[in-house]
Amino acid sequence: MRSPLKEYEKRKAKYNILLKKHQKYMDNLSNLRLAVFVLGLVILIRMYMVKLYFLFDSVVLVMIILFCYLAYLHKNIENKKKYIAALEEVNETSIKRLKGEWKNFQDSGEEFIDKNHNYSYDLDIFGKGSLFQWINICRTYIGRQRLKEILTEKPEDKQSINNRQCAVIELGPKIHFRQRLEAEGKIICNDKQDTKELFSWIKERNDYILEKKKVWILRVLSMVTGITSLTLIVRIIDYVIAVLLDTSRSAPKIFYIIPYYVPIFLIFIQCVILRIKREDRMKNLIIAEKYNYNIKTYRNMLKHIEKHKFKSKYIIDLCKMLCDNDAKSAYKQIDTFSKICESIVSRRNTLYPILNSILMLEYHWTISIERWKTKAGNDFEKWLSIIGELEALCSIANIKYDNPHWSMPEIITGASMITAKNMGHPLLGEKRVCNDLSVEESYQVMLITGSNMSGKSTFMRTVGINVILAYAGAPVCADQFCCTIMDLYSCMRTSDNLGQSISSFYAEILKIKNIVKASKEGKKVLFLLDEIFKGTNSRDRHTGAMILVKQLSRTGNLGFISTHDLELGEMAKDKNSKIRNYHFSEYYRDNKIYFDYKLKAGISPTRNALYLMKLAGIEIKENNEVE
């Protein structure tokens, strides 16, 4: 099996070659269009000079048809080129992700940062250098929202995790499906545009415009006006040609039967009708035009989804919901809607005011929109949620494909526990140092001591982020991983909030209060506490920490606490203690400090604060006084 990096490089090279070919096609078509125009102009001038007037109209018509056909081909190839460019970019991004250059990706999910969330801020789930920035390939607003929910909400039960695991295992090798779904999504101009307005608009109903009598009158009136106006337009064109070529009029007499004032009168009547409730119609047209590209993209994504066959029951059940509307698929329904919205965009054409006054396009578009809403509008949000779900699953499946040696975690029921073999931090790449872990029912709290920079905080973040991946249905950065479903809380990164007049110490107290409350409510709590009560004096910190550790070590909870307070380690000596001591240590060589970042049993035997002070230039005497 080819490595992920080589597969991405091969695909990027293939799409790069296709891009060059399509650019060449486009250049040739542009040259051909120019040649057709010049040649046609020369022929028309020659015909005028030799007075072949009877062929003049035919040549003009042929030129227009040929020119429009070449323009259509050019636009079609241009669209294909954009799609291929998107696929090339997808593979380039995948290569950067594997090479550790993902921290420069534009979408970091910064707007999802919530300092009050139970764990997301402490564990770098969103923002620069975050888990979201690393894995996200969602290109729709609803897909990004769904991925955010998966990473920040406790799973309902073991089955929901297993469902996602099965889907991720199937989607992992489907690189063709995942990349093309992402490429389709790249067409959206603004993937952070909230869809609430779109959903709300589609749920609105205007039964007034759908009354059969009104629809019948509007259609008959616009048809009659259109036909009579056509006779007037032909007469005008015939007159202009006759004047320019100095010939008699050649249009058939049938176009002169209807008096010229009839279509003028009908157009006047329609202009009056167009003023009735125009604001309501304009709201429909503006929103349809605003979301035109989004709807077109949703259509293409649904088409891509519907033509694939899946084996995972979870994905199969999702796809079934795309075909339960009168046996007509979601793609076909949205395709109809997309065509309506695309035609509405044409009102930006300079001829639109004239055509609208003749054909009352505003009314016909509004009728088409309202009929579509009535027929399929209730399912629209559901269809988009399926797109979002599959985008989120593909983001997680990317981890599976890019890291084939990572293991799928085992989720079990029963007492709170976590066991892991060779577990590392997924965001550290080749720099990661892996550790084994076993926290089972016999004890509930790991008290981690160690010197500064030895790896205590990183280890706890490693535990937390792998638990989040496990709950998301993703593979984890470990050879083996097993855990139960718990409510994850952390208190690792606190700061002053001047706007709310909250000090970092009080912010820490509020976080710990939430953990204690959840524990008292009988929840299975997994807590990660880094240097608790560091904002107060040493005596209060020690006393408070002892009380908190004892309180959180009750049955059902499981947690990790890092501290420099070595005296807290004495709590593990109690006969019925549910606390175990672990530590990280450093070693010295050639007057330099080194860390192995390996977890070891027992209380830390070393301290390095004074040594680090010396490295900073602070001269310390034998009795630890500062010179």
Reported as a single tens digit per residue, the pLDDT across 47-92 is 767 666 667 667 777 888 888 888 889 888 988 999 999 999 999 9
The per-residue pLDDT for range 83-136, each reduced to its tens digit, is 999 999 999 999 999 999 999 999 999 999 998 899 999 999 999 999 999 999
Looking from the CA of 284 toward its CB, the CA atoms found within 13 Å total: 28
Domain span at 8: 1-100
Which residue, of 402, 437, 469, is where some domain finishes? 402
Mean of pLDDT over the chain: 85
State yes or no: pLDDT of 465 exceeds 90: yes
Residue 567 lies in a domain: yes
Domain-terminating residue out of 402, 430, 460? 402
Q: Are residues 366 and 447 in the same domain?
A: no
Query: Does residue 363 share a domain with residue 440?
Result: no
Mean pLDDT score, 163-168: 95
Question: Quick one: pLDDT band at residue 571, thresholds 50, 70, 90?
Answer: confident
Residue 121 covered by a domain:
no
- In this prediction the pTM is 0.87
Q: Is 473 helix (H, G, I), strand (E, B) or coil?
A: coil
CA pair distance 89, 111, nearest whole angstrom = 24
Instruction: Answer yes or no: is 561 within a domain.
Output: yes
pLDDT at 501: 41
Q: Which CATH number goes with the domain that contains 459? A: 3.40.50.300
pLDDT at 496: 46
Are 551 and 414 contained in the same domain? yes
Q: Average of pLDDT values for 512-518?
A: 87
Rounded to an integer, the average pLDDT of 465-491 is 95
Q: Given pLDDT bands bounded at 50, 70 and 90, which one contains residue 513?
A: confident
304: pLDDT strictly greater than 80: yes
- Write b or e for each residue in 469-490: b if 16 or more Cβ atoms lie within 10 A of its Cβ, otherwise e: bbbbbbbbbbeebbbbbbbbbb
Report if residue 168 sits inside a domain.
no
Helix (H, G, I), strand (E, B) or coil at 339: helix
| 331, 447: one domain | no
Residue 446 phi, psi dihedral angles, 5° rounding? -100, 115
pLDDT for the residue 537:
64
Banded model confidence at residue 183, pLDDT cuts 50, 70, 90: very high
Same domain, 333 and 421: no
Q: Considering its fold, how many domains does the chain have in total?
A: 3
Say whether both 303 and 367 belong to one domain.
yes
Cβ pair 170, 310 in contact under 8 A: yes
Same-domain pairing of 38 and 87: yes
Q: Of 383, 402, 421, which residue is a domain's last?
A: 402
Q: Among the listed ranges 170-179, 185-194, 276-285, 342-351, which one has the minimum average pLDDT value?
A: 185-194
Query: Does residue 135 sit within a domain?
Result: no
Same domain, 556 and 417: yes
Report CA dihedral (62, 64, 67, 71) to the nearest 10 degrees.
-140
Domain for residue 137, yes or no?
Answer: no
What is the percentage of the chain residues whose pLDDT exceeds 90?
Answer: 42
Q: Which two tokens stand for residue 164?
A: 């996602």
Query: Are 416 and 347 members of one domain?
Result: no
My answer on whether 528 and 573 are in the same domain is yes
User: Is residue 375's pLDDT more than 50?
Assistant: yes
Cα 560 to Cα 549: distance, rounded to the nearest angstrom: 10
User: Is residue 451 within 8 Å of 585, Cβ to Cβ?
Assistant: yes
Helix, strand, or coil (residue 116): coil
Least confident of 100-104, 563-567, 572-576: 572-576
Q: 502 or 46: which carries more pLDDT confidence? A: 46
Asked if the structure places residue 107 within a domain, the reply is no
The answer to the question of residue 570 being in a domain is: yes
Residue 578 CB partners (closer than 8 Å, separation 6+): 442, 443, 444, 445, 553, 555
Q: Are 542 and 591 in a shared domain? A: yes
Whether residue 502 is predicted with pLDDT greater than 60 in this model: the reply is no
Q: Are residues 377 and 513 in the same domain?
A: no
